[in-house]
Structure 1
Amino acid sequence: MPVNADKPHLWKLDIAHSVDFYNSWFMQFAPQAYRDTRLSTTIQVESALQWTTNLTNITPDVLRQHPSVLPILRMAAAPPIARDRLIGLAGVSPNLVKNMEEQQRLPPRMNSATLDAELMKISQIIMRLTDKDIFSWLDTRQPPTDAEVHRAATIVADRLCGAVSDPIIRNAQERRQLATIRQWLEQRGYSYIGAGTGLSFERIQPGTFAFRLNIPVLLQGGSKQVNIPIDVVVMPLQSNFGQLPLLIEAKSAGDYTNPNKRRKEEAIKIAQLKSNYGDNVRFILFLCGYFDSGYLGYEAAEGIDWLWEHRIDDLALFGL
């Protein structure tokens, strides 16, 4: 029996409450989340300036020792350089740049001579495009003061945070949503099972829950297995033998556009889960923010129900 998906007469009011809820949180907590990230990022930029002797020594050797410095160097350019733009300008391997930025390492199989040549190309592009309005000592050739270095580091940190401001807010919101669910469950006698316990989706015990649990599924044809990450997996306190846990996907949105662009993702996920584990799979959404009637109608048509964060007690209606 659906809890919210079959009640379109309530959707408009819930959407308004959800938008107000999200906006209130954003105004109160998002600036602090951004400031905290900017502070830690500034420290990272200052370390990068030390490694490169305040950008006067951007060499292949430095990039070899500190591959994680590359995103900072891109944001130190005028204009700041996107990753793909750097690859094109320098004419280097996308795999090299991806390894440096995402894995904070050099490609383990790349030939040493080729690697040196590629790193030299990156160094030359960065040195040519470094923003001398920020790093004024590169023109004056005078050693910068501590204040000048900190100011420059803060500007680059702002650029880095600006490029990832949406993920910063999204991650802070996700942490808060999961904490809210955890508090609700623990107040009702549920026990949290942490990571690293070898927990299985099909062996979770009654009265327990876990976060970010991977559920293995075979794709159509059965030739390939992938893991579907689930934000919250809960086995009700009063569970029957063979019953599957409730799967909860926490979703938040600060505008109406992105949810509607990505609304098919949940339908694909539930279809894959049901094809592997049967029609008894229970999968719901935990919504906060901008989810309009078009989004809700699409999910309802796909057989997906939801609850709103501003009415979290609806969890009880899902058997918890």
Structure 2
Amino acid sequence: MPVNLDKPHNWKTDVALSVDMYNDWFMNFAPKAFRDTRIETTRSVLATLAATGNLTNLQPIVLRAHPESLSTLRMSTCPPIAVDRLIGLSGASASLVKTMEEGKLPARMNATDFNANLLKIISIVQRMADPDIFVWLGREAVATEAEVLRAATIVADRLCGAVANPIIRNAQEKRQLAAIKAWLEARQYRQVPNGTRFDAMPPGTFSFRMNVPVKLEGGLQTINIPVDAVIKPHGSAAEELPIFFEAKSAGDFTNTNKRRKEEAVKMAQLRSNYGGQVRFNLFLCGYFDSGYLGYEAAEGIDWVWEHRIDDLAEFGL
């Protein structure tokens, strides 16, 4: 039985309440999530500065040992350099730069070519290093501890500013899953160990961020679809599939409508592999308007509003 998708007369009120809930969380908790990430990022920047002699001794050996430091170096220039801009300016291999941005080294590049590419990157960083941040560059006196910490904080702010939305989204998702976990455990559900297959879960169990394998059209390729919450209701038969929930939060209406097809594609893939009995739903908090809700309802996707989390019981949980 539908829970919310067939009740459009409630949508306007629920949207307003959901927006209020998200805004309250954002004002009270998002700044802390951002600050905590900035503290960790500052430590990472300080480590890069220490390894490079505070940018006075930038050598290929450092980038080989710490490929993840490339993002710090990009944010140390004036102006900060995006990944594609660095590739264009330096002439370095695009695959090398993008692999290092992921904190890894390229698997198939000989040492000579690798070193030559790193020297190209280093040349750009040294030429464009921000003199207003790294005030010791070009002078005889070495950097003071206060100057280094100030520079690291500024670079960390740049790094965090570039990924502010993902930081907030990840913090909100953790909070949403914690709310689901508390609700389930209050009703004697238990979390299964990591590695448990979704179709081997006993009744009365749940898991988070579980991969569900599906074969793409043609059956030649199998991919894993990540599902935020997978719940096997009490009393369900062994052959019954668990219920899938995707935790969704949004701080504005524009992005939700841009991304609303994602859930429909995910459900279509699940149903094409496991049949029409697949139950795929959303757990919503934030800016989801009637246009978004109508689209999901038309695709047969139901949802639970976080401000009415007890609606989970109406799914048989």
Same fold, judged at TM 0.5 (above): yes
Aligned to 2:299: 302
Note if 1:243 corresponds to 2:249. no
Percentage of pairs with the same residue: 64
Structure-2 separation of matches of 1:121 and 1:240: 61
Q: CA deviation at 1:100?
A: 1.2
Q: CA deviation at 1:258?
A: 0.8
Structure-2 separation of matches of 1:141 and 1:50: 18
Note if 1:165 corresponds to 2:164. yes
Aligned to 2:271: 274
Q: Map Cα deviations across residues 11-63 of structure 1 (whole Å, 9 max, x no partner).
A: 00000000000000000000001111111111111111100101011121221
Letter aligned with residue 82 of structure 1 = A
Change (3 A) 1:257 1:143: same
Q: Map Cα deviations across residues 103-134 of structure 1 (whole Å, 9 max, x no partner).
A: x2321220111111100000000000000011
State TM-score, norm by structure 2. Answer: 0.98
- Structure 1 residue runs of 5 or longer lacking an equivalent are none
Structure-2 separation of matches of 1:217 and 1:64: 37
Counterparts of 1:258-269 in structure 2, within 5 Å, are: 258-269=255-266
Aligned to 1:14: 14
Aligned to 1:107: 106
Q: CA deviation at 1:240?
A: 2.6
SS in 1 for 2:29: helix
Counterparts of 1:37-52 in structure 2, within 5 Å, are: 37-52=37-52
Work out whether residues 296 and 302 of structure 2, in 8 Å CA contact, stay in contact via their aligned partners in 1.
yes
Q: CA deviation at 1:193?
A: 1.2
Q: CA deviation at 1:142?
A: 1.6
Q: CA deviation at 1:279?
A: 0.4
Q: Map Cα deviations across residues 66-112 of structure 1 (whole Å, 9 max, x no partner).
A: 2111000000000000011101111111111122121x232122011
SS in 2 for 1:247: strand
Aligned to 1:212: 209
Aligned to 1:221: 218
Structure-2 separation of matches of 1:193 and 1:168: 27
SS in 1 for 2:263: helix
Aligned to 1:72: 72
SS in 2 for 1:209: strand
Note if 1:36 corresponds to 2:36. yes
Q: CA RMSD in A?
A: 0.9
Counterparts of 1:54-203 in structure 2, within 5 Å, are: 54-102=54-102, 104-195=103-194, 198-203=195-200
Runs of 4+ residues over 3 Å off in structure 1:
none
Q: CA deviation at 1:140?
A: 2.3
Aligned to 1:5: 5
Structure-1 separation of matches of 2:204 and 2:140: 66
- Structure 2 residue runs of 5 or longer lacking an equivalent are none
Structure-1 separation of matches of 2:264 and 2:107: 38
State TM-score, norm by structure 1. Answer: 0.98
Q: CA deviation at 1:143?
A: 0.5
Aligned to 2:251: 254
Work out whether residues 285 and 306 of structure 1, in 8 Å CA contact, stay in contact via their aligned partners in 2.
yes
Letter aligned with residue 49 of structure 1 = L
Q: CA deviation at 1:220?
A: 1.1
Q: CA deviation at 1:171?
A: 0.5
Q: CA deviation at 1:212?
A: 0.8
Work out whether residues 194 and 211 of structure 1, in 8 Å CA contact, stay in contact via their aligned partners in 2.
no
Structure-2 separation of matches of 1:194 and 1:71: 35
SS in 2 for 1:284: strand
SS in 2 for 1:9: helix
Letter aligned with residue 112 of structure 1 = A
Q: CA deviation at 1:194?
A: 3.0
Letter aligned with residue 144 of structure 2 = T
